Structure 1
């Protein structure tokens, strides 16, 4: 999946270079505007408004070789049922299964008092649906029931995927998502609501490196500092061969860090998808998350820094999320 203003051009270049895999080109118009009941779909800001924004977007994406076309849905404010209903209605009217309904929803939709309305509105939507969560930093960490709400949507709305995600991409696959995408960088792991400046956890002067045993990303310089007086874990992923996790301290290491991250993520995907979708896959994911949570104390003890690494809220919530928290409608969970 390619996202952003240059997505169509990049997709075209990849097809020209004989790339034959699944390809989704997301112009990400939801970054610039909000969906309304009157106009759920947006036109590109550098062009005159199209008479039929949905039709134009589908034509543009398929023309550059996209496998399927994402709708140009605007950002869906929490509680704006009319905007969601309008988007579902217009896609259903097309009767074209190559169209994937993009749902850039504010994370507030996952609150316990709203998620049922979202599920109800998405029920009539044909084909695939692709959720992207809006909010600052880690949207799923913004309130306790967010992750439970996401699990409920995945369980009760068939054909739902999760795009622009982080750890949640794998949690979603464990919970039956049609597909998922893990963002290459922080800005592609969530959607910043239009009109809001993006919040940052700080200036990144070294690459983000995945610590597999802790199932979390840390700056390379942070890993080097934490393990300065201790033996750093050795990564044996397909990209590293045998490389210590404290060896990515500067931005000169961006490429090998990205290769390491990708190799680890692909191994997680293979592990999950080796199990059939359902309870076994969910249990496997929960066991992985629980094991990671328990390792934090062990790693901190080994480096003699009690608060050296802190469990990230989303990881903790995945470790605690039971299968009953997302049971399909009529299966005994509400």
Structure 2
């Protein structure tokens, strides 16, 4: 239903002018404002849904059967929360000037428009807002980016979420960041940035975190999807919404044609979020580190004080499911704490202080365990700890509620 009091968009036949004055997301996509969604494969939705915070989160389905799962959630399970489907074409095809939205589906005819078909399919499944099937945008491939932006601008539909799956090389230099910002500002609707690169993309370039914060600050409707800790950093910096990947594969993009690099013993045990250190570790790693000491007891809504973090040493039994539930419960706990602060400086300072505290905790815990190199601070966490808010005003902690954030 159209809001009769909403200002009409200025007609635009080219890409020479940005949209009208920045404003919050409107219409169907307005429900996404200020949320941190969970990006998850369809097979794991049932496992993780119980831990979702209905008022602050939602789902982004990604991978095979995402459309079918979206339909099931809406029609059979009466899921009424925010729901997006990420076509994830960028996993298999790169964008080009000729084909910014490449056809990655064998079931369509050659003359079908992949963009129109994908948006229509998503809408038919009841998504909150449809997302564009953008191909992977290689570093500084401005021709492909501009072609994608032109196509979406021509739709003149501010409810369409423009997916911008960019190689993290776009965040390396000032010139490419300015170009990316200029292009994204030409679209009136939400812009969902997703970062590509092996392992931890934001750790690859010294200024990537600062440049990400700049994009969020200067692009109205900017969002960050398929990411990790950056989901909180971006939300604190003012992103319209974000999405945290429920699995390591969904916390970054690997460029089409590349084989994903993984850590040693990747498949031996589940990834477990260590709240105090703000990082994911293999369950086996935690078991080894705490072999000679009592493991930390977890008080999250899933563990409820009945489990220690070193109890996920293998994939046997239901350990993978319990670890996944624990991870989401902790993330929701952090989200409630973050959103208890008013948007702006208070949130930025809370996030910055939390990252600094976590960085400082590493050497103390290593000393306690008598393992000098037991736990190593992740590069991205260091960068968030150094990325102080512009103002040095004191954090108004009286505005926040106590959610026992670990």
State if a TM-score over 0.5 links the two structures: yes
Q: How does 1:1-16 map to 2 (within 5 A)?
A: 1-16=60-75
Distance 1:194 1:254 in 2: 28
Deviates more, 1:37-46 or 1:8-17: 37-46
Structure 1 residues 10-45: Cα deviation after superposition (integer angstroms, max 9, x where no partner): 111111221111110112111111111221112233
Higher normalized contact order (CA 8 Å, seq sep 6+, divided by chain length): 2
Deviation at 1:142, TM superposition (A): 0.9
TM-aligned CA deviation for residue 114 of structure 1 = 1.1
Runs of 4 or more, structure 1, over 6 Å off, are: none
The Cα of 1:168 is off from its aligned counterpart by 0.7
1:331 corresponding residue in structure 2: none
Q: Please give the per-residue CA displacement for 1:161-183, whole angstroms capped at 9, x wherever unaligned.
A: 11110111111111111111111
Instruction: Map Cα deviations across residues 92-116 of structure 1 (whole Å, 9 max, x no partner).
Output: 1112222100000000000123111
What SS does the corresponding residue of 1:214 show, helix, strand or coil?
Answer: coil
Residue 143 of structure 2 aligns to a residue in which SS? helix
Matched with 2:26 is none
* Matched residue count: 325
Instruction: State the shift of 1:195 in Å.
Output: 0.9
Q: CA deviation at 1:49?
A: 3.5
Can you give the 5+ residue segments of structure 2 that lack an aligned partner in the other structure? Answer: 1-59, 392-406
1:137 aligns with 2:203: no
2:324 is equivalent to residue 263 of structure 1: no
Structure 2 length as normaliser, TM-score?
0.78
The match for 1:146 among 202, 208, 225 is 208
Structure 2 residue 167 is the aligned partner of structure 1 residue 101: no
Is 1:228 aligned to residue 288 of structure 2? no
Does the Cα contact within 8 Å between 1:25 and 1:61 map onto a contact in 2?
Answer: yes
Q: Does 1:217 align with 2:217?
A: no
* Residue 184 (structure 1) aligned with residue 275 (structure 2): no
Q: Aligned with 2:104: secondary structure?
A: coil
How far residue 66 of structure 1 moved from its aligned partner, in angstroms, is 0.9
- For the 8 Å contact 1:50–1:56, the answer to whether it is kept is no
The two structures, once aligned, show a CA RMSD in angstroms of 1.3
Report the counterpart of residue 45 of structure 1 in structure 2. Answer: 105
Residues 238-293 of structure 1, C-alpha deviations (whole Å, 9 max, x = no match): 11111211111111311111111111000111111111221111111000000000
Shift of 1:50: 4.8
Which residue number in structure 2 is paired with residue 332 of structure 1?
A: none
Structure 1 49/278 Cα, relative in aligned 2: closer, same or farther at 3 Å? farther
2:83 to 2, 5, 23: 23
Task: Find the aligned partners of 1:94 and 1:233 in 2 and give their Cα distance.
Answer: 52
The structure 1 residue matched to 2:224, chosen from 157, 162, 171, is: 162
TM superposition shift of 1:46: 2.1
Note the C-alpha offset of 1:294.
Answer: 0.4
User: Relative to structure 2, which stretch is displaced further, 42-51 or 251-260?
Assistant: 42-51
The partner residue of 1:110 within 171, 192, 202 is: 171
Q: Name the stretch that deviates more: 84-93 or 210-219.
A: 84-93
